[in-house]
Amino acid sequence: MRLQVWALSFYVLFTWFVWPLTETEIHFLALSYTLIIVTELQNTSFEHALDRLLPELHDDIGASKDIAATAVLTAGLLCSSWCLSLASLVSHSDSI
């Protein structure tokens, strides 16, 4: 978790120096990254709870874990789409 927070800090600072972002753009990036962290924490707690309640392997438990992991992937894709959108907006505004 600490690595992710430091990576976000580095990314935001690097992006801000290379492409100065508006306050709104930084808020959208922070919001989407927070969504990733929240879904990752929920996924981890969900997996630990299921492992504790039913330690034996079961197909339904595996499917539940896969669905929770898909939620994290979806949040990551949302963050990626925001980053790509912001990058295209910044490059477009530079060419004007």
pLDDT range class, residue 4, cuts 50, 70, 90:
low
50 close to 65: Cβ distance less than 8 angstroms: yes
Number of domains the chain contains? 1
Query: pLDDT-derived band of residue 95, with 50, 70 and 90 as boundaries?
Result: low
In a domain, 80, yes or no: yes
State the CATH number of the domain containing residue 56: 1.10.287.3610
Residue 13 is part of which domain span? 2-89
Is residue 96 assigned to a domain? no
The answer on pLDDT for 71 being more than 80 is yes
What whole-number distance in Å separates Cα of residue 96 and Cα of residue 29? Answer: 24
What is the per-residue pLDDT across 10-69, written as a single tens digit (0 to 9) for each?
777 777 777 777 777 778 878 888 888 888 888 888 889 988 988 888 888 888 888 888
Whole-model pTM above 0.75? no
Structural contact between residues 14 and 58, judged by C-beta atoms closer than 8 angstroms: no
Residue 22 phi, psi (nearest 5): -75, 170
CA–CA gap between residue 51 and residue 5 (Å, rounded) = 27
